Amino acid sequence: MSDEIVGYMTGERGKTTPTSVEDVEETVRKTNDTTNMNMNTNIESEALEIQDIEGIGPTTAKKLKEAGIVSVMDLAVTSADELAVDINTSKESAAAFIMASQKLLRDSHIIEKEFLTADLALEKRRSMLRCSTGSRALDELLLGGIETQAVTEFYGEFGSGKSQICHTLCATARQPIESGGMDSGVIYIDTEGTFRPERVEQIARARGLDHRHVLKSVAVCKVYNSSHLELIIKDLGKYVNDFNAKLVIIDGIISLHRAEFAGRGTLADRQQRLNGMLHKIIRLAEIFNIAVVITNQVQSSPDTFFGDPTKAAGGNIIAHLILDLP
């Protein structure tokens, strides 16, 4: 493991979606397989309907459904800019719908109030779960492991072990809380085609864990291009519920954007799209109380004379978002 590893921090809709790891090979053969996604969900927000939101009538509800926003929670985590385009309305109306959906969730005690007294804030911090990375040294660095309500970024050079950490997290997340896990499902978004279910099995066996149980709890999704990744992230709230996941891993967060937006002229567009995607991830982490792990490549920074001449790719967009985290 290189010492650049630092804490903090699938395509069109309806196409390939996450499937249980044991089905991966079959899914690769049968692309466009969308089975496994229609699982039962039982969280409280499911009881709420879009039309329960103040100011949203049947016409808007229909437009929202057409844009893929089917639950109050979906609306609550959308950005106003994105929604305004999706349902062809003004940014102000979009923002009002989002705020009304968040109010409904707050009033229903599904998400917390805007202002918390410090004792409640402390309680919230205590409700935060931590998941062991499987490495004692790394857990120490992260003060006990990766945490929910936050995004943790691992960045490092080619072959430094980022994907291996992600594979290990698949095994540790399923473990009971008292054993350093979160007793949770995992969503693994693989942008580089490097997810190997057999490696997860090997790690689980080596750690004396029930590998079948572990494999069944990982939903993996291979993404093929940046638009596919953005769509998966847009629907991530639904997948988190479907798979009862408390951990979302995005191995190679910017690889696809980096490859597709190559020239200088496309940089602003790329950064804007990355920004939208990352903000959504952070909102999901907070609202769903989930841990998000992203991995990132490094790029050389030839203007560095002292210290490490490499830095995480993605520029200030990624750095600011990560530093802004609680």
Ligand X SMILES: Nc1ncnc2c1ncn2[C@@H]1O[C@H](COP(=O)(O)OP(=O)(O)OP(=O)(O)O)[C@@H](O)[C@H]1O
Span interacting with ligand X, options 103-111, 161-169, 304-312, 316-324, rule CB under 6 A: 161-169
Residue 199 binds which entry of Mg ion, ligand X, none, with Cβ cut-offs from 5 to 8 Å by kind?
Answer: ligand X
Nearer to Mg ion, 156 or 237 (CB): 156
Candidate list 145, 156, 197, 314; residue touching ligand X; CB under 6 A: 156
Confirm if 260 and 293 have CB atoms less than 8 A apart. Answer: no
311 binds ligand X (CB under 6 A): no
Q: Which residues contact 137 (CB under 8 A, 6 or more apart)?
A: none
297 binds ligand X (CB under 6 A): yes
297 binds Mg ion (CB under 5 A): no
Candidate list 158, 178, 306, 307; residue touching ligand X; CB under 6 A: 158
Strands 298-300 and 310-312: antiparallel
Angle between the N-to-C axes of helices 315-323 and 267-288, in degrees from 0 to 180, rounded to the nearest 10: 20
The CA distances from residue 243 to 19, 38, 146, 281, in Å, are: 10, 10, 19, 17
Which residues from 151-170 bind Mg ion, rule CB under 5 A? 162-163
Confirm if 295 and 251 have CB atoms less than 8 A apart. Answer: yes
The CA distances from residue 86 to 64, 68, 89, in Å, are: 8, 9, 8
Span interacting with Mg ion, options 5-13, 50-58, 137-145, 186-194, rule CB under 5 A: 186-194
> Alpha-carbon distance 216 to 22, whole Å?
7
CB of 72 to ligand X, least distance (A): 37
160 binds ligand X (CB under 6 A): yes
Catalog residues that contact Mg ion under the rule CB under 5 A.
162-163, 194
Catalog residues that contact ligand X under the rule CB under 6 A.
156, 158-164, 192, 194, 199, 297
